[in-house]
Amino acid sequence: LAVPYNDIPSMTLEYSLHTVAWSHLSGPAEVAVEFAAQDSDEYVEYPGCRFLLLRNQRSFNDRTGVWRYTLPSYAWQLRKIRNIEPQSWDDENRRVFTNATVGEILKTFVDEAKARGNVPGLELGFDEQVTSSGVLWINTVNIAFDAGQDLWSILISLTSQGLCDWSIHERTLLAYNAGGLANDRTDSVALFPQRDIKDAPDDSSYEDLAARVFALGDSGAWYSEVS
């Protein structure tokens, strides 16, 4: 499981067809990851932890019936939202926004995609005026996007220019002013074996054990010492 900052999360998953409820993963599906505190039974789905089951792999020689899944974030659907409304393009086949907020740009493309019947489950946690934190957008921008460009590359462009931060919670896309997702990450984190640490190998070898160290330098100089 990986939930990078201002990027699309991803997850790999292994599950056996002999396991209870395997049928839920037998076709296209959403997979949510929930976490509970060490001393709590209350599980919570945090931002970036909703995924789409799009790709799977198995070996028919494997008697355990293990399937391996590659799951991108629910935000992966932004790749399927494209700038394909020709009536909105200029003479150079570009979509131009003038004095627009990040919220206005993103909402425009998502609304158009929904009008075409695309991404019906995707929701927005912001609008043209207000970020997902409930504060006003502090910047406007003059910008143009090429015909056919997808919303994921548009969002990455806006983020790389320092105009916004973003994440996704469940099916809701969240967008903030730049720095709006900044958190204090100086606290220590406790990792527990079997739960957080999947593998902890301890390998050793005596193959290079030596009784004497010998070093040869320039002009015939040398040094020897018993180790």
Please tell me the predicted confidence (pLDDT) of residue 27: 80
Of 147 and 190, the structure prediction assigns the larger pLDDT to 147
The residue that leads in pLDDT, 115 or 180, is 115
Give 80-136 as a 3 state SS string. HCECCCHHHECCCCEEEEEEECHHHHHHHHHHHHHHCCCCCCCEECCCCCECCCCCE
Phi, psi of 75 (to 5 degrees): -70, -10
Alpha helices in the chain (DSSP H): 102-115, 151-160
In degrees, to the nearest 5, what angle opens at C-alpha 158 toward C-alphas 155 and 161?
145
DSSP 3-state assignment of 182? coil
Report whether pLDDT(132) > 90. Answer: yes
Specify the range with the lowest mean pLDDT, choosing from 74-78, 122-126, 155-159, 185-189: 185-189
Interval 86-105 mean pLDDT? 95
The pLDDT value given to residue 174: 96
Cα(219)–Cα(225) distance, integer angstroms: 19
pTM value > 0.85: no
Strands 123-124 and 172-176: parallel
pLDDT at 211: 79
Indicate if the pLDDT at residue 118 is higher than 60. Answer: yes
Give the whole-angstrom CA distance, residue 212 versus residue 98.
75
Q: What is the pLDDT of residues 10-45, one digit of tens each?
A: 999 888 888 888 888 888 889 999 999 888 889 999
**154-200 confidence digits (pLDDT tens):** 999 999 999 999 999 999 999 999 988 765 555 666 777 766 777 77
As a whole number of angstroms, the distance between CA 59 and CA 17 comes to 12
pLDDT at 54 over 70: yes
Q: Residue 146: its pLDDT value, please?
A: 95
pLDDT of residue 226: 82
> Mean of the per-residue pLDDT values for the chain?
88
Q: Indicate the range of 63-72, 141-150, 190-199 predicted with least confidence.
A: 190-199
CA 147 to mean position of chain CA atoms: 26
Residues 6+ apart with CB under 8 A from 10: 1, 2, 51, 70, 71, 72, 73
Query: What pLDDT is stored for residue 182 in this prediction?
Result: 64
Q: Are strands 50-53 and 123-124 parallel, antiparallel or unpaired?
A: unpaired
pLDDT exceeds cutoff 80 at 83? yes
CA geometry: angle 193, 195, 200, nearest 5 deg: 35
